Amino acid sequence: MIYDSWMIAVERIARVRVLRLENGPDNALSLALLAELRDAIAEAAADPGTRCLVLASGTPRYFSMGIDLKEFSRLPAARRAEPFLTLLSVYRSLRELPKPTLAAIGGSAILGGWILAMGCDFRLLTEEGRIALSEIRFGLSPTPVLLRRLRGMSASPTLLKDLVLRGRTLRAPEALAGGFVDRVVPAPALLQEALRAAKSLSQQAPAAYAAVKAGLAEEDDALWRRSRAEFSRLFRLPEVQKSLAALSGKRRTRWED
């Protein structure tokens, strides 16, 4: 069964529900797309027939390049934090979904795109894929909640520091070596391998999986409040506003000035 919303295609394959981002060419995360995605995750949570959720992309080169910068530049100043805070709420809905989740990352997952992938329990990345969480380049922090999640994933302190302290983009072999993805697969096999893994996950005992997933999570309400407060504090700084204006204009921020 397949049905499409505005920017997300939803497909049910047995007990697996696939949410495919369809906001080409680079799956920019607009407020409308994020709202649709949050609703689709809520529908999956409420559907007893959905036993595993797969988040994928309808474009081969990009999983998502992050927040829609064109939309961001048009927002009034008072609303410019909204896309980032909405993205964090979608990430939280993935983390708190009491069912298995898997990200099938075709191509690049950059900034907000990688945050969505981080929200899933498992991640498959194509051989040509790249990941980045380079908020530091724009004067921002990924926030404590995401940094804690990354520390829990990481098998390499060096690559973790490269990712978040240097803002470096990691290619597939490094993402795998760092523990940030579970497998690297050829692009033509991505969906097939994702569905195979999802089918296996859908056969887990639902209540037990939900309990173990909740037990592994370390993202309590206090951490979420601290993360939102830290983001809001940094976001208001003049240097961040200057940086984001440069980003919208596709200019590089020079912090040494």
- Which pLDDT score is estimated for 19? 97
Residue 234 maps to a domain: no
**Residues 227, 222, 162, 96, CA torsion sign:** negative
Q: Does the structure show a pLDDT above 90 at 51?
A: yes
| Residue 255 DSSP class | T
Place 218 in a pLDDT band, splitting at 50, 70 and 90. confident
Q: Is 135 annotated as catalytic? A: yes
CATH code of the domain in which 119 resides: 3.90.226.10
Residues 102/194, Cβ–Cβ less than 8 Å = yes
Residue 47 maps to a domain: yes
Place 78 in a pLDDT band, splitting at 50, 70 and 90. confident
Spatial distance between the Cα atoms of 91 and 115, rounded to a whole number of angstroms: 7
Residue 233 maps to a domain: no
> Tokens 């709420």 — which residue?
89
Residue 80 maps to a domain: yes
Task: Domain count for the chain, please give it.
Answer: 1
Global confidence as pTM: 0.93
- Which pLDDT score is estimated for 6? 75
Nearest one of 238, 231, 107, 224 to 175, comparing CA atoms: 107
Nearest 5°: the CA angle 130, 132, 138 is 145
- Which pLDDT score is estimated for 244? 76
Q: Residue 149 is part of which domain span?
A: 2-189
Q: Does the structure show a pLDDT above 70 at 4?
A: no
Residue 155 maps to a domain: yes
Q: Which of 36, 135, 174, 219 is catalytic?
A: 135
Spatial distance between the Cα atoms of 213 and 50, rounded to a whole number of angstroms: 17
Segment 105-154, tens digit of pLDDT? 999 999 999 999 999 999 999 999 999 999 999 899 999 999 999 999 99
